[in-house]
């Protein structure tokens, strides 16, 4: 592990914790912890729950991406080098930003515009789409189905497809978040995410069937 590379990541991880500590005294004892797709509060809890949520988002993401290369049985992830580090930085940055947004929304007790979340997730999928085609076959990251894990050719073709549809799907979410109302955004977002999850799985099975024939 390159310590110099990890320091910026650790600083990013700490940002939401520092922000939470800064506004802690101004938070009410009971704060909103969850919102539905319309941006309406549907769950409340003690403000100490924000510490756990922050750890799950930024802290746990960093820990998982740090540990995975060392427990990968095939050691494929380590061969990705800087590409994996960039992916790790992207995910940690996104999760830390999401944690800050949740803390801020809890403080204000409202989400002024839930479309911002859809916009951010859409951008994330566009960026992840660029990484899908370079991910080596492994048990932790990517489209991990019985068929992609068994055949490297299916892994490559499935991730090549996922790379394209995740970018297009992310772009569609971004456009929708900027041009439509929040009610439509929520339904459209759920529909697109469902398709982005199902299509690569079905495709990998179809490729397996073709291979067996």
Q: Are 173 and 125 in contact (CB under 8 A)?
A: yes
Strand partners, 46: 30
Pure H helices in the chain: 3-23, 49-54, 60-71, 82-108, 115-132, 146-150, 152-179, 182-212
Tokens of 109: 């007790």
Q: What is the pLDDT of residues 71-96, one digit of tens each?
A: 888 788 877 878 888 899 999 999 99
Q: Measure the CA–CA gap between 210 and 11, rounded to whole angstroms.
A: 48
Q: Are 54 and 103 in contact (CB under 8 A)?
A: yes
Q: Are 120 and 97 in contact (CB under 8 A)?
A: yes
Q: Measure the CA–CA gap between 205 and 157, rounded to whole angstroms.
A: 11
DSSP 78: G
Domain regions of the chain by residue span: 1-112, 113-213
DSSP 25: G
Provide the pLDDT confidence category of residue 146 given band limits of 50, 70 and 90.
Answer: very high
Q: What is the pLDDT of residues 9-52, one digit of tens each?
A: 999 999 999 999 999 998 888 887 777 666 667 678 788 989 99
Please, what is the Cα angle at 200 between 195 and 204, to 5 degrees?
Answer: 145
Tokens of 69: 């290369």
Q: What is the pTM of this model?
A: 0.83
Interval 148-169 mean pLDDT: 94
pLDDT on residue 164: 95
pLDDT on residue 30: 83
């Amino acid at each position: 592990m390159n310590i110099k590379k990890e320091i910026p990541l650790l600083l990013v991880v700490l940002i939401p914790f520092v922000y939470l500590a800064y506004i802690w005294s101004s938070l009410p004892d009971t704060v909103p912890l969850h919102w539905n797709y319309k941006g309406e509060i549907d769950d409340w809890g003690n403000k100490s729950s924000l510490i756990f949520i922050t750890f799950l988002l930024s802290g746990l993401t960093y820990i998982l991406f740090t540990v995975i290369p060392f427990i990968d049985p095939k050691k494929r992830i380590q061969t990705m080098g800087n590409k994996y580090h960039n992916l790790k930085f992207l995910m940690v940055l996104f999760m830390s930003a999401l944690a800050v947004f949740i803390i801020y929304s809890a403080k204000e007790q409202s989400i002024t515009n839930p479309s911002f979340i859809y916009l951010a997730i859409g951008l994330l999928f566009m960026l992840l789409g660029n990484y899908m085609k370079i991910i080596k076959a492994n048990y932790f990251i990517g489209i991990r189905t019985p068929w992609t894990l068994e055949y490297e050719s299916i892994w490559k073709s499935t991730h090549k497809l996922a790379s394209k549809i995740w970018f297009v799907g992310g772009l569609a979410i971004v456009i929708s978040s900027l041009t439509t109302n929040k009610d439509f955004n929520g339904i459209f977002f759920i529909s697109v995410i469902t398709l982005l999850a199902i299509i690569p799985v079905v495709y990998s099975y179809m490729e397996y069937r073709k291979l067996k024939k």
